[in-house]
Amino acid sequence: MGSNNLEEQALTNTLSTFRHNGHIVAISPEQGIKLLDSWLRALQGDPNIDQIKGQLSELRTALQATTPDDQYIRDLLLSLADKTQAVAEDANSEGTWTGGLESLSKILRGFGSKS
């Protein structure tokens, strides 16, 4: 999967939102929803990643719940971490895009593993 400008912008925004003074920080559900919306817009029209878009939509819905299901959210984050890593390792991924996706995968895995 190659990247387009919207995808690169979504990746840059996501990584900068999670990074503060060299540390990974938690974000609010509202910040998460904004990031998810940017990803859903960026990934429109790419039929190769329908499963990822579906999980992003599921995560968005889960974050909006009156009483969020923490375990379900963690499971979605871990699944998205795996899929993000797979995209990063794809033969068509290259350059800084790949490194950014690997960083995002680690961040998602870290939050998905927290209890």
- Is residue 101's pLDDT more than 60? yes
- DSSP letters for 72-107: HHHHHHHHHHHHHHHHHHSTT--HHHHHHHHHHHHH
Spacing of C-alpha 88 from chain mean position: 12
From the CB of residue 77, how many other CB atoms can be counted at a distance below 10 Å? 22
- For the segment 2-12, what is each residue's pLDDT rounded down to a tens digit? 457 888 999 99
- Is residue 47's pLDDT more than 80? no
pLDDT confidence bin for 90, thresholds 50/70/90: confident
Give the pLDDT mean for 27-31: 94
pLDDT for the residue numbered 1: 45
From the CB of residue 100, how many other CB atoms can be counted at a distance below 10 Å? 20
| pTM metric for this prediction | 0.88
